[in-house]
C-alpha cells in the first residue's frame, strides 16, 4: 500500500526481512546513522499521519504500481510535446520493474534533447557543443590525474561519452552535407 500512513497488517517480521533482504534495517538503530547524533524525533509528530495532499493533476506521471501520486510532487516541468507523450506512455503502460518503462523514458529524454537542440538553432544563440560539453576544460583540469586512482565510477563509460555527445552532431553535419550536395548537384 504505497504512500499511505497505514501500516500493512500483519506487519512483516523484522528478523524475517533482515534474513531475506541483505542490508535491510541497517539504519534502524539511530546510533548507526551518521545523522543519529543530531537527529531529533518530534514526538508530537508521531501519529499525525500523512501531510495534506497536493491537488491532484491528472497529467502528472504516476507509476501504475501506485494507487495515487505522492503527497507532494513537482509541477515545474509538466509533460509536453512528443517527449511528454512518450514519457506518459511509459508510466501508463509499463511497471517501473520493466525495461520498457526505462527505455521509453530514455527515448523521451533523447527526443526532448533533440527538440532543444533544434530550438537552439532557431534562437540567436545556438548550442555550441565544443564549449558546452566541457571538452576544452578536460585538457586544463588534470584529465588523467583526476580519473585514475580515485575510484571514479564514471571512468567505466568514459570511452562512450565522446560517441554519445559528438555522435549526433557528426551525424547531423553529415546529413546536412548530403542534403546540400544533393541540392547543388541538381542545379
Q: Which three cell numbers stand for residue 10?
A: 500483519
Q: What is the pTM of this model?
A: 0.60
Q: What are the tens digits of pLDDT across the range 86-141?
A: 999 999 999 888 999 999 999 999 999 889 988 988 898 888 878 887 778 878 88
Rounded to whole angstroms, the Cα distance separating 80 from 166 reads: 26
**DSSP string covering 72-114, please?**
S---SS---HHHHHHHHHHHHH--TTSHHHHHHHHHHHHHHHH
Q: What is the mean pLDDT of the chain?
A: 84
**DSSP string covering 122-173, please?**
TSSS---HHHHTTHHHHHHS-TTTTTSSS--GGGGGTTTHHHHHHHHHHHHH
HSE-CB at 55 with a 13 A cutoff on CA atoms is: 1
Rounded to whole angstroms, the Cα distance separating 149 from 151 reads: 6
Q: What are the tens digits of pLDDT across the range 19-29?
A: 888 888 888 88
Please report where in the chains the cell 509528530 appears, as a residue.
Answer: 45
Supply the pLDDT for residue 4: 63
Q: What are phi and psi of 150, to 5 degrees?
A: -120, 0
Enter the DSSP assignment of 9. Answer: S
Q: What are phi and psi of 120, to 5 degrees?
A: -70, -30
Sign of CA dihedral 28, 32, 35, 38: positive
Query: Exposure pattern of 99-109 as b/e (b: 16+ CB <10 Å)?
Result: eebeebbebbe
Supply the pLDDT for residue 1: 47
Enter the DSSP assignment of 34. Answer: T
- Non-local (6+) Cβ contacts of 129 within 8 A are 165, 166, 169
Rounded to whole angstroms, the Cα distance separating 110 from 116 reads: 10
Amino acid at each position: 500500500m504505497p504512500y499511505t500512513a497505514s501500516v500493512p497488517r500483519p506487519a512483516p517480521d523484522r528478523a524475517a526481512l533482515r534474513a531475506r533482504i541483505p542490508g535491510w534495517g541497517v539504519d534502524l538503530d539511530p546510533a548507526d546513522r551518521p545523522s543519529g547524533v543530531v537527529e531529533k524525533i518530534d514526538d508530537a509528530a508521531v501519529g499525525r499521519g500523512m501531510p495534506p495532499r497536493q491537488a491532484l493533476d491528472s497529467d502528472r506521471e504516476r507509476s501504475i504500481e501506485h494507487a495515487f501520486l505522492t503527497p507532494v510532487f513537482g509541477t515545474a516541468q509538466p509533460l509536453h510535446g512528443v517527449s511528454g507523450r512518450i514519457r506518459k506512455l511509459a508510466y501508463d503502460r509499463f511497471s517501473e520493474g520493466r525495461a520498457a518503462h526505462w527505455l521509453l523514458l530514455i527515448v523521451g529524454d533523447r527526443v526532448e534533447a533533440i527538440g532543444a537542440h533544434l530550438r537552439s538553432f532557431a534562437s540567436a544563440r545556438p548550442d555550441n557543443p565544443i564549449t558546452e560539453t566541457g571538452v576544452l576544460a578536460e585538457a586544463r583540469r588534470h584529465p588523467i590525474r583526476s580519473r585514475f586512482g580515485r575510484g571514479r565510477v564514471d571512468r567505466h563509460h568514459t570511452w562512450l561519452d565522446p560517441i554519445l555527445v559528438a555522435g549526433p552532431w557528426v551525424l547531423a553535419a553529415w546529413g546536412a552535407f548530403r542534403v546540400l550536395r544533393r541540392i547543388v548537384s541538381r542545379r
